[in-house]
Amino acid sequence: MNPSRRMLPARMFLCRRLARFALFAGGFLPFPLLAQQAPRLPDLTAYDCAAVTPAATVETRHIGQVVGGIYNEWNEFYVMKDGQRRLACIGLMRPASRQMSADEVKTFLTASMAIGAPLPAAAAETGKAAPQSTTPNDEPANVKPEPLKRLRKPTPGTAETKSGGGEDLPPIPAGRMLDGKTGDGKGARETTLRFERQQPAIMSDGFTASPATVGVEDREFIPQNQSYPWNTLAYVSVTYPSGEGFRCTGTLVSAYVVLTAGHCIHNNDRGGYATAVRVYAGQNQAAPGDNTPIRPYGTKQDVQSLQTTARWTQISGEESYFIADYQNDIAAIEFKTPFNHTGTFMPVIYGSTNTSITSAGYPGTIKGDTNNYGLYGDTGGETQDSITFFRSDHVREFAVDASGGNSGGPFIYTDQGTGQRYLVGVLSYAEDLDDRSGGPWYDSWNQTLVSSWVSWMPGSASAGSVSGLRVASVFSSAQANMFSFLRFFNSGNTAGTVNVTLADYATGNVLATWTSPSLPGRSSRQFSIAEIETESSATFTKPLVYSVSVRASFNGTFQNVLLRKLDATVTNISTCDVMAVAPTTATNVHSSILQSNYPSAVILHNTSTVGATPTLQVFNAQNGNLLGSYIAPQVPANGQAILGIPQIEAGAGVSPGTTIYHYNIRLAGSTGGYLQHLVNNVGAGVTSDMSAACTLTPTP
């Protein structure tokens, strides 16, 4: 985060306050009309994938949606023709990569947009929910609207900081199975990662916000709760370990998954993850002021797991946060059996550039009524603070009203050309009736995680079903600024191989396997993740991060080494379920060839009760050949010796020539102690401890 943009004088704060409601101009579309707009196919008169070029394209949308029970992800390319924006091509990415013909697009988008889907009879005739659909109220009596989170302001004259520390990282998932198993990711190592910011599109969405009416209730009742897309909105009621109950809003994005806010399912002050969840899709009430909930599709409680980000599990429970913390406030509720009242689910646009949205949900208080169960919405434009300051933190803020219970509700973009509605973000914080509500924006930063949630289905293959060493956070070659190198050390004398299974880190879905070439005894071979991806057993869409399982035919160690292109640093981020302790071999120690930019040092720790003059054996890491031995100076009991590589090479009579870049250095004999390996990243002025390693044992 750039501290300079946060350090604003008092006068600037005042200017920002006055400018908060300066919104993009245009024709205002009242909410009731918006709610009843029927979707229609886009103009396809310019459809020609072969003619699409970067210069001709005026807008690109990256969309993910479950269509016909299958998760699809695609790019839509738009061009200008005769002064009008027209769809020129759809490039499908998942489940297969190909371009669609115009006829295929018509069929695909008809299903995607639920064109021609009939309205429920009661809703079509009366415009209101059907009272006969009311189900018994099985919700506990103590459930209260989840209080609105607030935006924490930095102290004047100081820079904003993130409550949880850290930098702008892609979100690491944390989940809880309702059988008590957890994967909260709190031990995950963090490394800097930034994405290129999306540039504003030439075309706007055609909407503008309602006039800024601070302190005035703008939300309108939405009666069509049994019509798409409103039947994909859900009232979410949870109970925490503390016994407290709270209610939020969620959005069905598949037959098995509801997206909401992280603070709707996890709160450290209430005991962590919710222990019970009840979801009422399409809930409403007969009319404003009629506080009997109508639940046409009943209650769904068979939750498989709760998913949020690792960062949110660390910082949840506060009443307010800095804007950068809210990027982590996303979550998914996954069910064992499907919702079956609709076959169409809300599509997600990743990185939408629109500046006006509709916010919809279940506020506990509406127009003075403090016992509301109905569905309400508000339409508004992006605030100036959001445009100027918040976007780089993957958060947007809009001039829409909210109150307790709106948390987790969708930010919806409506395309004026087609009437199609898209999920673009989630409401996370607000000020009561202040026309200021914001939350995480679905974009390239969280796309991998969100798409993995949307595409999840019960029974998905997982890395947990694969035997071998389990390795976390291997960065793929899809990363813009960094990727991993995998190192395998064979500590025996006999050659062997390793088998690597790559899985999507967010879902556990197995993607491919790779088998190494033969690794000689005492060798330590390094393979880039790009090599492993290219030589693996399958073609697949690369996630940003993998979970990896390693099966070896030998004893040894594994390391996950990260190369960060931005500052050319090399760091060791090895984390796994079986860590090596007190290593007596330092692997992939840099020879003097790398002395000018990445010099290595070996630290010899003597843990015995007497002084010692240990012997270090130097091996060629590439082939395992012994090159020489070095007798170190005497190391006192409980002392250590810091040895530079030129010193070891000279003492062992070893020359790397022009081909030996890495050594394996072994502490020989029965001397008590262990080795530490440090690398100085000279250009960045950073020293990395390269010692951490995972234990490999022969695995069938």
pLDDT in tens, 96-114: 888 999 999 999 999 999 8
Give the type of residue at 222.
I
CA distances from 632 to 591, 604, 643, 648 (A): 18, 9, 8, 8
**The pLDDT of residue 563 is above 80:** yes
Structure tokens, 538: 């399958």
Digit-coded pLDDT (tens) for 492-501: 999 999 999 9
Q: How confident is the model at residue 8 (pLDDT cuts 50, 70, 90)?
A: very low
**The pLDDT of residue 376 is above 80:** yes
| Mean pLDDT for the stretch of residues 213-221 | 76
Q: How confident is the model at residue 93 (pLDDT cuts 50, 70, 90)?
A: confident
How many percent of the chain have pLDDT more than 70?
Answer: 82
CA distances from 348 to 117, 169, 275, 466, 471 (A): 20, 21, 28, 31, 31
Digit-coded pLDDT (tens) for 229-242: 999 999 999 999 99
Digit-coded pLDDT (tens) for 657-697: 999 999 999 998 766 789 999 999 999 899 999 999 999 98
Give the type of residue at 24.
F
**The pLDDT of residue 483 is above 90:** no
- 201 vs 341: which has the higher pLDDT: 341
The mean pLDDT value of the chain amounts to 83
Give the type of residue at 332.
A
**The pLDDT of residue 388 is above 60:** yes
**The pLDDT of residue 31 is above 90:** no
Digit-coded pLDDT (tens) for 148-180: 999 987 655 555 554 444 445 567 777 776 765
Task: Report the C-alpha gap between 365 and 156 in whole angstroms.
Answer: 33
Task: Report the C-alpha gap between 363 and 145 in whole angstroms.
Answer: 7
Q: How far apart are the first and last CA of the chain?
A: 47
57: β partners: 79
| Mean pLDDT for the stretch of residues 244-273 | 97
DSSP string for residues in 666-678: EE-TT--EEEEEE
| Mean pLDDT for the stretch of residues 424-428 | 97
Position 154 scores a pLDDT of 67
DSSP string for residues in 546-571: EEEEEEESSSEEEEEEEEETTTTEEE
Structure tokens, 575: 């984390």
Position 405 scores a pLDDT of 96
Q: What 3-state DSSP class applies to 465?
A: helix
Q: How confident is the model at residue 383 (pLDDT cuts 50, 70, 90)?
A: very high
**The pLDDT of residue 364 is above 60:** yes
Lowest mean pLDDT among 20-29, 461-470, 613-622: 20-29
**The pLDDT of residue 120 is above 60:** no
Task: Note if the pTM is more than 0.75.
Answer: no
| Mean pLDDT for the stretch of residues 504-526 | 89
| Mean pLDDT for the stretch of residues 559-576 | 90
Task: Report the C-alpha gap between 472 and 185 in whole angstroms.
Answer: 10
Q: How confident is the model at residue 119 (pLDDT cuts 50, 70, 90)?
A: low
**The pLDDT of residue 132 is above 90:** no
Please answer whether residues 475 and 493 qualify as being in contact, where contact means their C-beta atoms are separated by less than 8 angstroms. no
Find which of 114-118, 446-450, 600-604 is predicted with most confidence, using mean pLDDT: 600-604
How many percent of the chain have pLDDT more than 90?
Answer: 59
Position 280 scores a pLDDT of 96
344: β partners: 67
Position 187 scores a pLDDT of 30
Q: Which residues contact 371 (CB under 8 A, 6 or more apart)?
A: 291, 364
> Which domains, from first to last, does the chain contain?
3-25+121-187+205-454 (2.40.10.10), 41-112 (no CATH), 463-696 (no CATH)
